[in-house]
Amino acid sequence: MNFDIAPEDEAFRAEVRAFITAHLPPDIARRGQHDYHSAREDVQRWMRILNAKGWSAPHWPARFGGTDWSPLRKYIFQDELRRARAPVLDRCALDLLGPVLCTFGSPQQQARFLPPILNGDEWWCQGFSEPGSGSDLASLRTRADLDGDHYIVNGQKIWTSEAHYADWIFALVRTDQTVKPQAGISFLLIDMKSPGIVRRPIWSIDEGLTLNEVFFDNVRVPAENLIGEPGSGWGYAKFLLTHERTTSAVVSHTKRDVDQVRHLAAHARAGDGLLIDEPAFAAKLARLEAEVIALEWSVMRVLHAAEHDAAGNAVASLLKLRGSELSERAALLAAEALGDHGLAAMPDPEGHHILHGDGLSPGLTDDEAIGVTAKAMFRRATTIYGGASEIQRTLIAKSILGL
Amino acid sequence: MNFDIAPEDEAFRAEVRAFITAHLPPDIARRGQHDYHSAREDVQRWMRILNAKGWSAPHWPARFGGTDWSPLRKYIFQDELRRARAPVLDRCALDLLGPVLCTFGSPQQQARFLPPILNGDEWWCQGFSEPGSGSDLASLRTRADLDGDHYIVNGQKIWTSEAHYADWIFALVRTDQTVKPQAGISFLLIDMKSPGIVRRPIWSIDEGLTLNEVFFDNVRVPAENLIGEPGSGWGYAKFLLTHERTTSAVVSHTKRDVDQVRHLAAHARAGDGLLIDEPAFAAKLARLEAEVIALEWSVMRVLHAAEHDAAGNAVASLLKLRGSELSERAALLAAEALGDHGLAAMPDPEGHHILHGDGLSPGLTDDEAIGVTAKAMFRRATTIYGGASEIQRTLIAKSILGL
Amino acid sequence: MDFNLSGEQQALADSVARFTARDYSFEARRRLIEAGTGLDPQHWQTFAELGWLGAGLAEDAGGYGGGPVENMIIMEGFGRTLVLEPFLPVALFAAQTLAALPASALRDELLTGIVAGDALIVPAHGELAARGAPDHVETTFANGRITGTKSLVIGGHAATQLIVSARSTEGIGLYLVDPAADGVSARRYRLLDNQHAADLQFDEAPVLETLAHPGEGLAAISTGLAHTLTGLCSEAVGAMDTAIRMTRDYITTRRQFGTTLSTFQALQHRMADMLVEMELSRSILYQGIAALDQPGASRDRGLAAMKAIVSSAALFVGRSAVQLHGGIGMTEELAIGHTYRRLFVIAGQFGGESLHLKTLAGLPRSFWQETTSPAAC
Amino acid sequence: MDFNLSGEQQALADSVARFTARDYSFEARRRLIEAGTGLDPQHWQTFAELGWLGAGLAEDAGGYGGGPVENMIIMEGFGRTLVLEPFLPVALFAAQTLAALPASALRDELLTGIVAGDALIVPAHGELAARGAPDHVETTFANGRITGTKSLVIGGHAATQLIVSARSTEGIGLYLVDPAADGVSARRYRLLDNQHAADLQFDEAPVLETLAHPGEGLAAISTGLAHTLTGLCSEAVGAMDTAIRMTRDYITTRRQFGTTLSTFQALQHRMADMLVEMELSRSILYQGIAALDQPGASRDRGLAAMKAIVSSAALFVGRSAVQLHGGIGMTEELAIGHTYRRLFVIAGQFGGESLHLKTLAGLPRSFWQETTSPAAC
């Protein structure tokens, strides 16, 4: 056992940090302090900078434009991006679709779709959930029927993140109605500009737009856009959902948020002193910080565990459960730090998607304070999406404890 | 609506307080500060004093030696007893058996059994639980077979509180093996001196003795000791368990404990100051206090609710659940207040039942500190016995929320 | 003690329920949000006509002789449908602050205006650094003018007059200020629950009238705040009750994994805990109302205990309700998210759990110490 | 980074497991409790013979060249079966305190005695008012004599020598004291988990040797304490793991309401939370061990975070384990209650969650501030 990080890895972190410092445009960095989803333009600019360096998708295999970094270095890279408040990249394309394409895609599909992802030219969204199949994917009903060399897609997807930005969607569709529910599902890539696709925004309680419904009405999709084998979609989806065992911890995000809370509390007056010196608040922040440390060291254990290591799986199973809880806690604490202003709506003043574009917001001058309450509301979703906490606990009980 | 207490009720409280002050023997009061179950002699002396005043069992009907006090006054009476650290009386006899005898007992049974209870002459224990029927009473197996004018009892009871003190036991026994489980159960009074009864102490993790196993081997019990009708025992047990809707909150006990914590913290040094001035500890104590206030006002609502009032039932349902949690929390906080000494075993120095009679205990001079850690350990049981918290939550979900 | 509504009180509750059923459907409320004011003059007129603006005000203060229970009934009903109008700051905070002042022609005129629905008077008292502590006032009064900044003045954007607390060397006084006067500027914003509020900046703003002289203002505004806290907690109880009802309805109908969600024990238990939190909140609300009559420290203790409990319960119930709804609970389209947002605001308004626990810790006493009343128990 | 045991470390773990399986069955432990000393000389001899007393001690300090990981392995194993002997105060607290002092003939002799199992040396450092804060020392040193009271000295009843921290005008020093000397009196007691401890009163007690001069003692004893904290948390992880395993075994076999308890979702979820708390404790234990090498504030921060997390986890897991066992979990006859008692003691020993959160809050920094090591992350 050895819990020390190697000097070469420390040097790597310094290299990443130096690159980001030198290349992240200051205006993007400033907007990154705000607690909104980054606008597509910011993400795109930043992706092109990263792509020029070969760092768009370090976790992909090197031959597809990724790197051969160790899991720890991939983590350090992401960690430094969060530290710098760089825009969050197109996670659907990079983290979800990318590994599937690299592993199961045909050479033609890889050549067609991977490069535009790396350069931020084409954006993706994920079409898995449907109305009535929240955490129960096997029950999905969107169908794709073969008609010559095209599939005809009919149905509806919901909770589709960033569909309003997306150029493409990768969807689970039912291509065979005659077999057992999981066996009839295929993995299909669909151009969002296809006739018959309608997007409907789902405004969320933070008054922001990230989620959508997507309707398919006799949408024609070339059969060559099907990944791998028809009927194997369920397996690819499981691969995709389990491929990255540590990102669901969102630990670097929460580390950034803890720093944010500390900053806000150090600048918030409380009576004749500062909030950071209020013992009750300081203790809550310290507790959060300690839990984040425990979470990050859990990530370290998983990063260094062999893929099928039982102990590693036990630890991996807690990352989403606790990571999502801490993510919301951090946001709630940031709102609490703002005091009266932590109760105010803060629609993104520079965003493109505002439910109530009335510009009514308290007069905040600290970039770190802008958007805090929108984030606090949005984060209510963290313990719901991607397998709700109740599902996670049942999974742990059954798969780890054998109950 | 009116949330003010009537002046006459305030006067009543003053009267009770004055009586207790005048009549509670000082040596008993001092021992009452210690966190152990009272010795039988102390309880007995105190019951005789109360009985002389007619206050042994105020909640019984007046014609059986009780009073016609309002529910509020009965509560105030108990509240003042706890405030004064008076010995906890024989709850099995007074609170559980007494109301059953008063309501379902024959005149002969009432005349035989009630007076010795009032005077503390005869002590009772409750024989409900059996091995394998923790929260699932309907599955009990102890049987009583009629043989002439006697029942022959065979079987085993467990978790029998104070059986080592008790002169009698009231037990649920199966008198009919042929009917549905709940229909074959009867309610039988059994002399603990009967041949064939063996008690085995169950030492608990506080190193104290309150629980026992009781074994019945062909124990002969006069048939006249059966309460009401054979086969109706299940109904009497339910009556008994629901008769008092507020005692399970143990709110006066916990009020006493909160005062104790405040006393200990005000006398415990913490660095260069006092523990009570440590913000973290003070906040925990304040939170506990606020929850106890909420609990007590919930008790008030139930005391003033009609018996079948739906809203009243909803509130009553939370009393055991939260009351038991707060009871343990208060004890844990008291132990925390003692610092290093809060980790020490404290077997009752004056008790008769000590598992490890080695006299090893830290040198405590404050009566309020003696026994604190034994209580903290014992209270771990509060959310288990009398319907575990898990059962309580399911009950609330089903009976109040209709889930 | 009597925990049942009187006939008149029941009639009031029914009246509130009729109003919200008619005027505060989810759709009607959405339209009011989109209108962008958070205040429908017709609603306000209704409040006046039905006597609600004076329902909790003593007769000698120009009200209809009710008290905090009447305000509780109204606010609980408002909490059920998330009424947006600034009833709380006007009819409770401002009116009870004024009622706590010695009778005077000015006071009575202002109260009459409130009760009639003509005057939308709100206190401008809280400040960012106060974080809910009632006695932290940095705004100054000197030479008939006010300087300082007040935060989170709900209804401050629509007020006809302001009651401003300000400090001079002799202590805190209360001053009537015209929001349209020179030297007053408002930064208007919405709260997360779509109530409208403003931060008000006073820069040598002229005072119309002195309502309480320096040193005499804190007691009155604290009394107003005390009533406001019980009103706010009443609203929380109404909102929690609604959240629980909506969640129960959702999980008993929503099917997943081949059964309704309500069959899952973990969800049942969470709902049980939600119910418990709501009932404990109601219990301690009653205690808070009883405490309003108590002398200073007792009252403040009772109110601090109340707000601490209700703040944490509101967050727990609100968060849990969204959790049990799943993704749909996160959408603007469903009422439950709005209820969460209201509960979130209530939890923090006038200080959250931490502040009130600190207050409570600073006012220690034995449960049996002062009086024998459960109000002090 | 490497989270796997080396071959030698695995052999050590196996050796500990063999010992506890043989000598620390529940029955054997019960007999040791009844013997009333909490210390079996044969066990101690075994510890010495197997090299455990020096397993975590550097070679230049007389040990076998291991480090905190070796101590972790031993303590985790001891936590699984609730070993009663005062290994922690001797082999970690005393030994690491001595190892932190400059080499000297005296120091080396004492360490040799510890490693050989001949000397049962324990620090007498904590005081009631310190409540776990390492620098609160009221005990005084003057004219070669010690006066003051030390609390919760585990193994203090059986010590051959004491390392006493005491303050003089120049700061805190460390002194070797004979527990049998005039002026030393012990109030012996048992802890809730049946370890034996003592409060030691020094009344002008003579010093045998000065181990660290005034002003030089705090650093050494803090280093000893740091190692002790990681050892204690290792023990907690072992005890939690055992508690979870025992509880799982119980609920998968115990039947109620016609099924095994393990089929109830509420119980499944509680067990999932217990597992999560245990794994997070293990993670932050590794962090704590990594922090031992860090400079002052970083080390203290890492250890405070560790102990805060482990303290609350230990209480949660211990309490939950008893809860899921039901009534039987409350009995002396079952191992689970003893595990709870050990976890309860660990949670409070050397300061509970509150103290360590306060320490952590007092040492703020950004996650990315100091070094790039996850140890400081």
Give residue-wise pLDDT tens across range A177-227: 999 888 899 999 999 999 999 999 999 999 988 899 999 999 999 999 999
> C218-376: which CATH topology?
Butyryl-CoA Dehydrogenase, subunit A; domain 3 (1.20.140)
Contact in structure between D269 and A390 (CB atoms under 8 Å): yes
Q: What is the pLDDT of residues C199-245, one digit of tens each?
A: 999 999 999 999 999 999 999 999 999 999 999 999 999 999 999 99
Task: Name D275's Cβ contacts closer than 8 Å, sequence gap at least 6.
Answer: A314, A318, A396, A400, A401, D244
* D358/A286 Cβ within 8 A: yes
Nearest partner of D100 among D215, D208, D216, judged by Cα: D216
Which of B135, B102, B109, B225 minimizes the C-alpha distance to B173?
B225
| Tens digit of each residue's pLDDT (9 = 90 or more) over D62-111 | 999 999 999 999 999 999 999 999 999 999 999 999 999 999 999 999 99
Q: Is the pLDDT of residue C304 over 80?
A: yes
Name the nearest CA neighbour of D304 among D226, D371, D217, D220. Answer: D226
A268 neighbourhood in chain C, CB within 8 Å: 128
Residue of B294, B300, B394 lying closest to C309 (CB–CB): B294
- CA gap A361, A349 in Å, rounded: 9
Phi, psi of C149 (to 5 degrees): -130, 130
In chain A, CATH 2.40.110.10 covers 124-231
Which residues from chain B sit within 8 angstroms of residue D354, using beta carbons? 278, 280-281, 284
Mean pLDDT, rounded, for B17-38: 94
Class of domain B248-399: mainly alpha
Helix (H) or strand (E) holding C8, with range, is helix C7-23
User: Which residues neighbour D214 within 8 Å (Cβ) at sequence distance 6 or greater?
Assistant: D141, D167, D168, D169, D170, D171, D172, D173
Q: Which residue of chain D comes nearest to C268, CA vs CA?
A: D266
The rounded percent of chain D whose pLDDT value lies above 70 is 98
CA distance A278 to chain B (A): 9
From D130, D199, D256, residue closest to B134, measured CB to CB: D256
Nearest CA in chain A to C34: A356
CB contact under 8 A, B377 and D192: yes
Residue A243 has pLDDT above 80, yes or no: no
Counting residues of chain B whose pLDDT is more than 90, the rounded percentage is 79
- What is the pLDDT, as a whole number, of residue A351? 67
Closest-CA residue of C relative to A359 is: C189
User: Does residue D374 contact residue A5 with C-beta atoms inside 8 Å?
Assistant: yes
Residues in chain A: 403
Tens digits of residue pLDDT in A288-327: 999 999 999 999 999 999 877 877 888 888 999 999 999 9
A210 φ/ψ angles, rounded to the nearest 5 degrees: -130, -25
Looking at the complex, does the CB of residue C133 fall below 8 Å from at least one CB of chain A? yes
Q: Residue D205 has what DSSP assignment?
A: E
* For testing contact with chain D, the best of C269, C270, C273, C354 (most D CBs within 10 A): C269
Question: Can you give the length of chain C in residues?
Answer: 377
Neighboring chain B residues of C364 at a CB cutoff of 8 Å: 262, 276
Measured in angstroms, the CA of A161 and the nearest CA of chain C are apart by 12
Q: Which of A244, A278, A291, A325 does the annotation list as catalytic? A: A244
Of the candidates C270, C265, C246, C251, the one whose C-alpha atom is nearest the C-alpha of residue C343 is: C246
Q: Which of residues 139-158 of C touch A (CB under 8 A)?
A: 151-152
Helices C335-348, C217-253: crossing angle, 10 deg rounding: 150
Q: What is residue A135's predicted lDDT score, i.e. its pLDDT?
A: 61
Tens-digit pLDDT profile for residues B180-197: 888 899 999 999 999 999
Q: What is the pTM of this model?
A: 0.96
Provide the pLDDT for residue C377.
40
Residues of A whose CB is below 8 A from B279: 279-280, 283
Mind telling me how many Å the CA of B298 is from chain C's nearest CA? Answer: 5
Which residue from D252, D283, D287 is facing A403, i.e. has the nearest CB? Answer: D252
Residues in chain D: 377
Checking if the pLDDT of B312 tops 90, the result is no
**Contact state of B363 with D187 under an 8 Å Cβ cutoff:** yes
* Mutation site for B-interface testing, chosen from D189, D255, D265, D325 by largest number of B Cβ within 10 Å: D189
| Cα angle: A56, vertex A59, A61; to 5 degrees | 100
C374 lies within 8 A of chain B by CB:
yes
What's the rounded Cα separation, in Å, for the pair B300 and C299? 19
Write down the pLDDT at residue B246.
87
Q: Which residues of C touch D (CB under 8 A)?
A: 264-266, 269
Inter-chain CB proximity B360 and D357 less than 8 Å: no
- Which amino acid is it at D99? A
Domain edges within chain D:
7-116, 121-213, 218-376
CATH topology of domain A7-89: Butyryl-Coa Dehydrogenase, subunit A; domain 1 (1.10.540)
Judged by CB atoms closer than 8 Å, whether chains meet at B401 and C276 is answered as no
- Quick one: fold of A124-231? Butyryl-CoA Dehydrogenase, subunit A; domain 2 (2.40.110)
CA distance A265 to chain C (A): 12
Q: A160 by DSSP, 3-state: which?
A: coil
Is D303 at the interface with chain A, CB within 8 A? no
Catalytic residue ranges of B: 244
Residue contact C371–B298, C-beta within 8 A: no
Q: What is the pLDDT of residues D136-190, one digit of tens each?
A: 999 999 999 999 999 999 999 999 999 999 999 999 999 999 999 999 999 999 9
pLDDT, position C370: 53
- Per residue in B225-251, pLDDT (tens digit) is 999 999 999 999 988 877 777 888 999
CATH architecture of the domain with residue range C7-116: Orthogonal Bundle (1.10)
Report the DSSP pairing between strands C209-212 and D121-124.
unpaired
Residues 6-25 of C with CB under 8 A from B: 6, 9
Pairwise CB contact (< 8 Å): B344 & D352? no
Instruction: Measure in Å the smallest separation between the Cα of B77 and chain D Cα atoms.
Output: 31
Instruction: Choose from D283, D285, D298, D309 for mutation: most chain A CBs within 10 A.
Output: D283
Tell me the two tokens of residue A397: 């009980």
Considering only CB atoms, A343 lies closest to which of C152, C322, C338, namely C152
3-state percent breakdown (helix, strand, coil) of chain C, nearest 5? 55, 15, 30
- D344: closest chain B residue by CA: B343
Q: Is the pLDDT of residue D372 over 50?
A: no
Inter-residue contact C105 to C208 (CB < 8 Å): no
With an 8 Å Cβ cutoff, are C1 and B300 in contact?
yes
What angle (nearest 5°) sits at the alpha carbon of residue B283, between those of residues B279 and B285?
120
Q: Do β-strands C184-190 and C196-206 pair in parallel, antiparallel, or remain unpaired?
A: antiparallel
pLDDT digits (tens, 9 = 90+) for D227-244: 999 999 999 999 999 999
Q: Where are the alpha helices (DSSP H) in A304-378?
A: 310-337, 372-378
Q: What is the pLDDT of residues C115-168, one digit of tens each?
A: 999 999 999 999 999 999 999 999 999 999 999 999 999 999 999 999 999 999
CA distances from C31 to A353, C83, C84, C214, C243 (A): 20, 13, 12, 44, 21
Say yes or no: do domains C7-116 and C121-213 share a fold.
no
CATH 1.20.140.10 region(s) of chain B?
248-399
Contact of C108 with C59, CB cutoff 8 Å: no
Which chains share 3+ C-beta pairs under 8 angstroms with B? A, C, D
> C251, C265, C267: which to substitute to probe chain D, counting the most D Cβ within 10 Å?
C265
Distance from CA of D241 to the nearest CA of B (A): 20
Contact state of C262 with B403 under an 8 Å Cβ cutoff: yes
Neighbours of D (≥3 Cβ pairs closer than 8 A)? A, B, C
- At residue C374, the pLDDT reads 54
Nearest in space to C220 (alpha carbons), one of C71, C61, C113: C61
- Count CB neighbours of A331 within 10 A: 26
Say what the pLDDT of residue C110 is: 98
Question: Which residue intervals of chain A bear CATH 1.10.540.10?
Answer: 7-89
DSSP B399: I
CA distance readout (Å), C129 to A340, A341, B222, C125: 9, 11, 76, 12
Tell me, rounded to whole angstroms, the distance of Cα D66 from its chain centroid. 18
Cα A340 to its chain centre, rounded Å, is 30
Question: Are the C-beta atoms of residues C233 and C307 closer than 8 Å to each other?
Answer: yes
CA distance C272 to chain D (A): 12
Backbone angles phi, psi at B304, to 5 degrees: -100, 5
Choose the mutation target among B395, B398, B399, B401 for the interface with C, i.e. most C CBs under 10 Å.
B401
Segment (H or E) for C43: helix C41-49
- Name chain A's partners: 3 or more CB pairs within 8 A: B, C, D
pLDDT at C286 over 60: yes
Distance, CA of B289 to CA of D264 (rounded, Å): 33
Residue D76 neighbours by CB under 8 Å, 6+ apart: D13, D234, D235, D237, D238, D241
Nearest CA in chain C to B11: C372
Minimum Cα–Cα distance from C252: chain B residue: B403
Query: How far is it, in rounded angstroms, from Cα B343 to Cα D348?
Result: 7
The alpha-helical segments, DSSP class H, found in D254-295 are 265-291
Residue A246 region by backbone torsions, left for phi larger than 0, else alpha for psi between -120 and 50, else beta? alpha
Distance from CA of C188 to the nearest CA of A (A): 6
Minimum CA–CA partner of B13 in chain C: C372
From B145's Cα to the closest Cα of chain D, the distance in A is 26
The reply to whether residue A339 touches residue C323, judged by beta carbons under 8 angstroms, is no
Task: Work out the angle at residue C311's Cα, subtended by the Cα atoms of residues C307 and C314, and round it to the nearest 5 degrees.
Answer: 135
Residue among A9, A304, A390 minimizing CB distance to D3: A304
Per-residue model confidence as pLDDT tens digits over C86-123: 999 999 999 999 999 999 999 999 999 999 999 999 99
Name the DSSP letter for residue D301. Answer: H
Neighbours of B182 (CB within 10 A): 16
Contact status, residue B140 vs residue B172, Cβ threshold 8 Å: yes
**CATH superfamily label, C121-213:** Butyryl-CoA Dehydrogenase, subunit A, domain 2 (2.40.110.10)
Long-range contacts, D11-14 (Cβ 8 Å, 24+): D12/D55, D12/D70, D12/D73, D12/D74, D13/D73, D13/D76, D13/D77
Question: If you count residue pairs, one on B and one on D, with CB atoms under 8 Å apart, how many are there?
Answer: 133
